A and B are shown apart, each in its own frame.
Chain A
Amino acid sequence: MSTVIAEQNVYGAQFSSMREHLPGSHWPWVERLRQKGMDDFLALGFPTTKLENWKYTNVAPLRRITFQPPIDQPLPPIRKLDSGQTRLVFVNGRFDPAFSTIDVRLNFHLRTIREALRDRKPASGIENHLGRYTRTSDHAFAAWNTAFFTDGAYIELPRGSVCEQPIHLVFIAAGNTEPWACHPRNLIVAGEGSQITFIEEFIGWNDSAHLTNIVTEIAAGPGAVLDYYKIEHESHQGFHVAVINAHLAKDASLTSHSISFGGSLVRNDLNVSLDGEGSHCTLNGLFVADGRRLIDNHTRIDHLRPHASSREIYKGVLAGNAEGVFNGAIAVHENARKADAVQYSKNLLLSTEAQINTKPQLEIRNNDVRCFHGATIGQIDTDAAFYLNSRGIAEHDAKGILIRGFAGEIIDTIRVPKVRGELEYQLNEWLRSVLEAS
């Protein structure tokens, strides 16, 4: 225990020396927010497996490392997911203007958090939302991010504004020195009746021990329509912890695709508050892992108002000694009449050593609901494999076809063609390496 406190003291010391250089340090409200984050982080400490929410995810490997603040690293040539004209690139948590493109015709605010916090007007817009959807008192990583966040995207769509092109946010981890951590922070505020598609992509460049600890807050006004993609492809030694908090007003709709490919330890917390009548969320997830990697997806949907609906399907493909966790909480509150929630967790294990812990968690405080959940864990269907073999398709190819078919249920629902194509490519690459190793 004492070593843990000592390590937190390291981060406390880092905070003291860095705080005045962090974005927004000249605003008292930012200072208060960061201080609260730091206090909560020090009080909580890193979670242990004794906590229900971290039962299957041991962050000890991460706790053993003292992460330094991010270093500046020249950006190497990187295979780019060119999904649209507008792209903000962050390298080790810092905005890189050379690799970024902003379409000047955009009719809404798209800035980096650092830049937006400089001026009074955007800063007051941020003040209304930043930290409002994220509780730091019960999530150490969210608290840590709140204390240390360096940069990220700030998107504010005015009422009725429709963004036709996807906004692409790229977070590149590139380092080869001491272990380091970065804390990006995104804020998306969608006004009434607005519409946007945005993509968060995480790329591990060279294989260095690092932590990406990101918080994304999404506020969807009445009738806003958001299409959100999170594509995680950290390097083998990379740690990735993400908290995404979305707040939906009346008739707002959020579609989320969370796709996890890489990293040695990945934890996603996706929380959606359906805090408006008739609001809706669709949460689709796909995670694939091999080796000794661990991918943990925690989702929570709070039905707070009448007639809200949610659809959720998460699929895991686990090979080697990989571990997967899915914990899907659905809370239907007293006031949420006619709640309509469907949740599936489907998992495919490619080896006898691979593991999945899947748990639905329903908290229903209302009689007038329709709520369904189901979880499956299976292996490659030998009948299906034989059927393909009997048509001349070799064993490995047959497995590949079946796994792609399994993942296809998620990938096929991606509405941005370039993202879909890129994910199909990445999945094929992953399958090739896994099937060749087997």
Chain B
Amino acid sequence: MMLRIRNLSASVDGKPILRGLELDVCAGEVHAIMGPNGSGKSTFAQVLAGRDTYHVVADELSFQGRDLRQMPPEIRAREGIFLAFQYPVEIPGVSNLYFLRAAVNAVRAHRGLPELDAVDFMSRARDEAKSLGMDDAMLKRSLNEGFSGGEKKRNEILQMKLLEPRLAILDESDSGLDIDALRIVADGINTMRSVDRAIIVVTHYQRLLNYVVPDRVHVLIGGRIIRSGSKELAMELEEKGYGWLEEQAAAERSEYKPGAKRKRDSAQPQENPQPSRKVS
């Protein structure tokens, strides 16, 4: 088992966002996590990457058999977890290429591999960038600064390809893309599919899943996975929306017997408070 999650809860400033999430992901699999806005999708992605603004409680949160809670974000990254951000951060004054090389070399050092020198790295980065339709100028510019939405998403995929993670989490990597950019991003994700790598695609829409076909689809509502199924579940959601599942989730919740450590939760899932940060 690559990723094993039992009864994961996360809150920010005392407001619960994830409430007892359970998930198993094996190497070689692609999982899609879908859900309406505010259901906790981005929180889940950020928690996996190690964001410390969330208070995290779980019975188990393990990656390749090791407890993730003991690892700061940079160790998670070096161990092979990669998060493609929904909103990549703009960092003025730091060139994209310099950043990419620093990241790749940090991960390589952890794996006992020699540093890539600037020339070798440059040619690799150029090749990968080209395959994503990015020109050299984007490598030399400041990291994400002034990039369009689509350029930022491609730059995230570029990082994933260069860092070669074992578990890639893609948070809304499809949002705001036109169909051509979507295909490029999807191709980038598909080239990463392999038997020893797992991919979690977090998305609001079924559109990306036409190109990146998942092995499993999970619906996250109110901070819990309330339904899992095959790729057909995504089709069903596209057709019916999330409303019918939200009602069902609310009904289940009213019957839900809280665990000893948790309080009974009366909030309606669709009225989940938004965290103060930019996550949805």
Residues of A within 8 A of B (CB): 381-384, 386-395, 397-398, 401-402, 404-409, 412
Residues of B within 8 A of A387 (CB): 85, 88-89, 91
Residues of B within 8 A of A402 (CB): 91, 94
Residues of A within 8 A of B76 (CB): 390
Would you call A392 and B163 a contact (CB within 8 A)?
A: yes
Q: Given B53, B82, B93, B103, which contacts A404 in the complex, CB threshold below 8 Å?
A: B93
| B220 within 8 Å of A (CB atoms) | no
Q: Return 15 A-B CB contacts under 8 Å, by A number.
A: A386-B73, A388-B91, A390-B77, A391-B99, A391-B102, A391-B106, A392-B74, A392-B107, A393-B102, A395-B72, A395-B74, A402-B91, A405-B93, A406-B92, A407-B93
**Nearest chain-A residue to B83 (Cβ)?**
A390
Chain A nearest Cβ from B204, distance in angstroms: 21
Docked CA distance A383–B91 (Å) = 10
Given contacts A393-B106, A394-B74, A395-B74, contact A388 B93 (CB under 8 A): no
Given contacts A404-B94, A405-B94, A407-B93, contact A391 B72 (CB under 8 A): no
Question: Which of B83, B89, B110 has the most CB atoms of chain A within a 10 A radius of its CB?
Answer: B89
Question: Which of B89, B93, B159 has the most CB atoms of chain A within a 10 A radius of its CB?
Answer: B93
Residues of A within 8 A of B49 (CB): 386, 390
Residues of A within 8 A of B93 (CB): 404-409, 412
Docked CA distance A407–B92 (Å) = 10
Residues of B within 8 A of A389 (CB): 50, 72-74, 77
Docked CA distance A401–B94 (Å) = 7
The 6 A-B pairs with the shortest beta carbon distances in the complex, nearest first, are A405-B93, A408-B93, A391-B103, A392-B77, A392-B106, A405-B94
**Nearest chain-B residue to A410 (Cβ)?**
B93
**Nearest chain-B residue to A394 (Cβ)?**
B74
**Nearest chain-A residue to B77 (Cβ)?**
A392
**Nearest chain-A residue to B79 (Cβ)?**
A392
Interface residues of B in 70-128 (CB under 8 A from A): 72-74, 76-78, 82-83, 85, 88-89, 91-94, 99, 102-103, 106-107, 110
A-B interface contact total, Cβ < 8 Å: 81
Would you call A401 and B99 a contact (CB within 8 A)?
A: yes
Residues of B within 8 A of A412 (CB): 93
Given contacts A386-B51, A387-B85, A405-B142, contact A393 B92 (CB under 8 A): no
Q: Is the interface of A mostly helix, strand, loop or mixed?
A: helix
Docked CA distance A387–B76 (Å) = 13
Chain B nearest Cβ from A435, distance in angstroms: 15
Would you call A397 and B102 a contact (CB within 8 A)?
A: yes
Residues of A within 8 A of B82 (CB): 390
**Nearest chain-B residue to A406 (Cβ)?**
B93
Chain B nearest Cβ from A267, distance in angstroms: 27
Docked CA distance A293–B92 (Å) = 27
Docked CA distance A402–B89 (Å) = 12
Residues of A within 8 A of B107 (CB): 391-392
Q: Given A383, A392, A407, A408, which contacts B89 in the complex, CB threshold below 8 Å?
A: A383
Docked CA distance A394–B78 (Å) = 10
**Nearest chain-A residue to B109 (Cβ)?**
A392
Chain B nearest Cβ from A384, distance in angstroms: 5
Q: A386-B73, A390-B76 are in contact. List 6 more A-B contacts (CB 8 A).
A: A381-B89, A387-B91, A391-B99, A391-B107, A391-B163, A405-B94
Residues of B within 8 A of A398 (CB): 74
**Nearest chain-B residue to A383 (Cβ)?**
B89
**Nearest chain-A residue to B92 (Cβ)?**
A405
Docked CA distance A116–B107 (Å) = 61
Residues of B within 8 A of A383 (CB): 89, 277
Docked CA distance A130–B10 (Å) = 70
Given contacts A389-B74, A389-B77, contact A384 B106 (CB under 8 A): no
Would you call B77 and A391 a contact (CB within 8 A)?
A: yes
Q: Given A384, A392, A409, which contacts B78 in the complex, CB threshold below 8 Å?
A: A392
Docked CA distance A409–B94 (Å) = 10
Residues of A within 8 A of B91 (CB): 384, 387-388, 401-402, 405
